[in-house]
Amino acid sequence: MKLVKNIAIALTAAAAFAGASFGAGADKHPMQMEWEFEGPFGKMDMSSAQRGWQVYKQVCSACHSLKYFRFRNLADLGYEEDMIKAWAAEYEVAGEIDDAGDPTVRAARPEDAFPSPFPNDNAARASNGGALPPDLSLMAKARHDGPNYIYSLLVGYEDAPAGRDMPAGKQYNPYFKGGAISMAPPLAEGIVEYEDGTAATPEQMAKDVTNFLMYVAEPKLTARHHMGLKVLLFLGILTIILYFSMKKIWKPVKSGKNFYEDK
Site residues (vs ligand HEC, CB under 6 A) = 55, 59-60, 62-64, 128, 131, 133-134, 136, 139, 143, 150, 153-154, 181-183, 186-187, 209
**Which segments of the chain are extended strands (E)?**
66-70, 92-97, 103-107, 113-114, 171-172, 180-181
In the bound state with ligand HEC, the residue whose beta carbon lies nearer, of 134 and 219, is: 134
Q: Least distance to ligand HEC from the beta carbon of 193, Å?
A: 15
Q: What are phi and psi of 190, to 5 degrees?
A: 70, 15
Do 48 and 34 form a contact (C-beta atoms < 8 A)?
Answer: no
CA atoms within 13 A on the CB side of 112: 21
Q: Least distance to ligand HEC from the beta carbon of 192, Å?
A: 9
Query: 3-class SS at 124?
Result: helix
> In b/e form, how buried is each residue of 134-147, taking b as 16+ CB within 10 angstroms?
ebbbbbbeebeebb
In the bound state with ligand HEC, the residue whose beta carbon lies nearer, of 133 and 156, is: 133
Tell me how far apart the alpha carbons of residues 52 and 32 are, in angstroms, rounded to a whole number.
19
* Category of 169 on φ-ψ map: left (φ > 0), alpha (ψ -120 to 50) or beta: left
In the bound state with ligand HEC, the residue whose beta carbon lies nearer, of 209 and 229, is: 209
In the bound state with ligand HEC, the residue whose beta carbon lies nearer, of 85 and 143, is: 143
Tell me how far apart the alpha carbons of residues 128 and 231 are, in angstroms, rounded to a whole number.
48
Q: Least distance to ligand HEC from the beta carbon of 226, Å?
A: 28
In the bound state with ligand HEC, the residue whose beta carbon lies nearer, of 85 and 128, is: 128
In the bound state with ligand HEC, the residue whose beta carbon lies nearer, of 108 and 214, is: 214
Q: Least distance to ligand HEC from the beta carbon of 225, Å?
A: 24
Closest-CA residue to 141 (of 57, 221, 79): 221
Q: Least distance to ligand HEC from the beta carbon of 18, Å?
A: 20
The CA dihedral of 73, 74, 78, 84, to the nearest 10 degrees, is -120
Q: Least distance to ligand HEC from the beta carbon of 64, Å?
A: 5
Q: Least distance to ligand HEC from the beta carbon of 61, Å?
A: 8
Helices 146-155 and 202-217: crossing angle, nearest 10°?
150
In the bound state with ligand HEC, the residue whose beta carbon lies nearer, of 187 and 200, is: 187
